[in-house]
């Protein structure tokens, strides 16, 4: 996924201190852009996502966090959606100059996503029979 850098003081790589700085600045940004709105953060099971410092920061600001289940095939479609999101944002990278630009681009890409059937088929779900196939089989 594209590494979202809110501050030039945040160096590449992931550790508790850097993630705490990122989340502190990101939560402050959310409060500025969406005053009073509370968010649900969905995270994978990376150890730093479960550190008390991070959880306290999220909860003290009125937000919640939910951890994703460990990977299994039914969870796979979301990985492909994230990949599509990343690819589309990378294609627009030269026009993204601020965090507001990034948020606007993510909103645009998410609104244009779909249909989602191909994401499920890609990870092994059966392709649904469309209505025209049903009509053809009745003749």
Q: At what angle do helices 99-112 and 76-91 cross, to 10 degrees?
A: 130
Per-residue pLDDT reduced to its tens digit, 57-94: 999 999 999 987 776 655 567 777 888 888 888 898 88
> Would you place residue 15 in the very low, low, confident or very high pLDDT band (cuts 50, 70, 90)?
confident
CA 11 to centroid of chain Cα atoms? 21
82 shares its domain with 58: no
Band of the pLDDT at 96, cuts 50, 70, 90? confident
Domain range holding 18? Answer: 1-68
Same domain, yes or no, for 10 and 56? yes
Q: Do 60 and 18 fall into the same domain?
A: yes
Classify 10 in phi/psi space as left (phi over 0), alpha (psi -120 to 50) or beta. beta
Indicate if 1 and 47 belong to the same structural domain.
yes
Among 68, 91, 117, the domain boundary falls at 68
Both 83 and 99 in one domain: the answer is yes
Total count of domains within the chain: 2
89 and 122 in a single domain? The answer is: yes
Same domain (yes/no): 5, 55: yes
105 and 43 belong to one structural domain:
no
| Domain match, 1 and 64 both | yes
Residues 38 and 7 in one domain: yes
Indicate whether 64 and 88 sit together in one domain. Answer: no
Q: Are residues 104 and 50 in the same domain?
A: no
Contact between 105 and 92 (Cβ < 8 Å): yes
Q: What is the pTM of this model?
A: 0.54
Look over the chain and give the mean of its residue pLDDT values, rounded to a whole number. Answer: 79
Full DSSP string of 73-106: GGGHHHHHHHHHHHHHHHHTGGG--SHHHHHHHH
For residue 132, what pLDDT band results from cuts at 50, 70 and 90? very low
Whether 10 has a pLDDT exceeding 60, the answer reads no
| pLDDT of 48 over the 70 cut | yes
Whether 128 shows a pLDDT value over 90: the answer reads no
């Amino acid at each position: 996924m594209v590494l979202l850098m809110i501050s030039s003081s945040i160096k590449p790589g992931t550790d508790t201190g850097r993630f705490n700085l990122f989340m502190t600045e990101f939560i402050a940004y959310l409060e500025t852009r969406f005053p009073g709105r509370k968010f649900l953060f969905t995270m994978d099971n990376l150890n730093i996502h479960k550190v008390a410092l991070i959880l306290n920061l999220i909860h003290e600001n009125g937000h919640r966090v939910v951890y994703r289940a460990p990977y299994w095939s039914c969870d796979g479609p979301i990985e492909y959606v994230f990949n599509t999101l990343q690819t589309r944002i990378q294609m627009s990278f030269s026009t993204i100059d601020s965090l507001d630009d990034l948020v606007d681009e993510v909103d645009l890409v998410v609104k244009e996503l779909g249909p989602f059937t191909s994401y499920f088929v890609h990870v092994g779900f059966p392709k649904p029979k469309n209505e025209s196939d049903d009509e053809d089989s009745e003749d």
